[in-house]
A = this chain, B = another copy of it.
């Protein structure tokens, strides 16, 4: 019951904040989004220095005004399983309102400067773009 009350309170409070939910982040049916998830494989995967430099670089992207949320990550310490790919070094997860927002990001000078300055660190990139349903 206590949990329910807390949720109800937060659901009301969230009306102030552009559709944030009781859980603080939008659930999939509240607002459509374009989700852009990029995985980077470093040329020197054992270099903590290169990894940290790339993390620093990815974080510069948050200045781009069409990005609604950005999460920068490294492989989590979850149990190894055949289906889990933990071979990448750094990941960026971006939320946009729509395809236009993603397009603005791709062409943005901050994004181009990122690729220019940090692009020599990685040997492979895989991108997944999804639209919420």
A-side residues, CB < 8 A to B, are: 10, 13-14, 16-21, 23-28, 33-37, 39, 55, 59, 62, 67-78, 81, 83-86, 88, 91, 93, 95, 99, 102-103, 125-133
Contact = CB atoms under 8 A, between A and B. Distances in A.
Contacts of A81: 127
Nearest to A91: B130
A127 B69 contact: no
- Interface residue SS majority, chain A: mixed
Copies of this chain? 2
A16 B19 contact: no
Contacts of A27: 62, 69-71
A19 B22 CA distance: 11
A19 B28 contact: no
Contact of A69 (B16, B23, B77, B78): B23
Contact of A17 (B17, B86, B103, B130): B17
A47 to B, nearest CB: 16
A130 B24 contact: no
21 contacts: A10-B18, A13-B17, A14-B16, A14-B20, A16-B16, A17-B17, A23-B67, A23-B69, A24-B68, A25-B26, A26-B69, A27-B62, A35-B73, A71-B130, A71-B132, A72-B133, A73-B133, A75-B130, A77-B99, A93-B93, A93-B130
